[in-house]
Amino acid sequence: MKEKILEYLLNHQGEFTSGEVLRREFGVSRTAIWKHMKTLKEEGYQITSVPNKGYQLTIEEDRLLAYELEKSLGKKVEVHQSIDSTNNHLKRNARDYPDEMIVLSEEQKKGRGRLGRSWDSPKGAGLFFSMLLRPRITMEESFKITGIAAAAVAEAIEEVTGLPARIKWPNDILVQGKKVSGILTEVSGEPDGINYIIVGIGINVNTPNFTGELKDRATSLYLEKGEKVSRKELFVRAANKFFRFYHGFTREKTLGEVHGILENRSAVLGKEVIILRGEEKKQGKAVEITKEGFLKVRYESGEEEVLSSGEVSVRGLGGYS
């Protein structure tokens, strides 16, 4: 019923519609209409209520609205105004949510990146979303999901903005050498099977500035392009690409075209790198992205290693000079 009321208001956008008209249209009480309006407001819809006139829906520019995103993606979508983190929300509710559920929030109060780092998530300026997946793959294969997400986000950014997007293995997207997006993949399962995977993505879309240590390491699409970027367009493009790549992977069990994207957009291949794992630091050169999406590094000793995880610092990027 809520969706039907919303569709009616969308078709009469900018007009006032009385509660009595809605009551007759949908055959429910005015109290029920009021409750649905309250829920829609909580979901972020700008609905004005005026006595003796009724309800008026106004769509704010670049507002993320679940109803519109569901129509664009064919997926179940939730949009929150504020949340601790979209990954945490999905973990708490994974048992009750369908496969390929997507949760977005206008603001995250405890946004996280890899290795427990915080992620700055100011209200209305970025894209902060997570996807719940239940693929039939092994724990080892789950690593590829991060590469799939990185490829989708990088491709979407360049298509929407024209800005060259590079992937700093395994999970950061860079524009002009600065971080514009990060991916956090969390897995619940056993070595031989997955309960669920949550892929969290944060993109600095229209963030106006960065301060402190972030000033030289992070950027936004707005800062690089010089004009605001549509969050809705970018989200729909990135999500559609992700699910196309993801379904190809779960069907064929290979990265397919994603491998080429990871290679061609790599910010680390051919570069001097430092691999950080706990207290251990090793210096070498990134020489290959394997077919599995792993990073092959050749150390100064001549020894080569294939990495499935780890923190990679690249000479000239992110403070390593």
What's the pLDDT band for 12 if we cut at 50, 70, 90?
Answer: confident
How much of the chain, in percent, has pLDDT values that exceed 90? Answer: 63
The CA distance from 247 to 178, in Å, is 30
Write down the mean pLDDT value for the chain: 89
The confidence score (pLDDT) of residue 123 equals 75
DSSP annotation of 95 = G
Mean pLDDT for the stretch of residues 266-277: 90
Yes or no: say if 43 and 29 are a contact pair by the CB < 8 Å rule: no
49 is in an annotated binding site: no
Q: Is 87 annotated as a binding residue?
A: yes
Sequence ranges of the domains in the chain = 2-58, 66-264, 272-314
Is the domain spanning 66-264 CATH 3.30.930.10? The answer is: yes
Please tell me whether 185 is known to bind a ligand. Answer: no
Closest CA to 205 of 226, 229, 187: 229
Band of pLDDT at residue 129, cut at 50, 70 and 90: very high
Position 189, amino acid: G
In the prediction, which pLDDT does 91 show?
97
Closest CA to 313 of 186, 184, 172, 151: 172
Q: What is the per-residue pLDDT for 39? A: 86
**What pLDDT score was predicted for residue 111?**
59
Q: What is the mean pLDDT of residues 54-65?
A: 83
- In DSSP notation, 190-206 reads ETTEEEEEEEEEEE-SS
Ligand-binding annotation for 219, yes or no, is no
- Residue 113 labelled as part of a binding site: yes
Give tens-digit pLDDT for 153-164.
999 999 999 999
Q: Helices 257-264 and 144-161, interaxial angle, to 10°? A: 70
Rounded to an integer, what distance in angstroms lies between the CA atom of residue 147 and that of residue 171?
7
Contacts of 72 (CB under 8 A, 6+ apart): 236
Torsion sign, CA atoms 120, 123, 127, 130: positive
Q: Residue 20 — φ and ψ, nearest 5°?
A: -70, -40
Residue position matching structure tokens 């006139």: 53
Give pLDDT, residue 320.
43
Within the chain, what is the greatest distance between any pair of CA atoms? 81
Q: Are 11 and 23 in contact (CB under 8 A)?
A: no
Q: Which of 304, 152, 179, 318 minimizes the C-alpha distance to 243?
A: 152
This prediction has a pTM of 0.84
pLDDT band at 115 (very low <50, low <70, confident <90, very high): very low
* Domain 2-58 matches domain 66-264 at the CATH topology level: no
Q: Which CATH number fits domain 2-58: 3.30.420.40, 1.10.10.10, 1.10.3720.10, 3.40.30.160?
A: 1.10.10.10
The residue with greater pLDDT, 112 or 214, is 214
Mean pLDDT calculated for residue range 226-242: 97
- Of the candidates 12, 11, 16, 109, which has an alpha carbon nearest to the alpha carbon of residue 55? 16
Q: Is the dihedral of CA 245, 234, 194, 71 positive or negative?
A: negative
Residue type (1 letter), 299 = Y
Q: Which residue has the tokens 């693929």?
A: 135
CATH of segment(s) 272-314 = 2.30.30.100
Given the structure tokens 């024209």, which residue do they identify? Answer: 162
Mean pLDDT, residues 71-89 taken together: 93
To the question of whether residue 114 is assigned a binding role by annotation, the answer is yes
d(CA 280, CA 293): 23
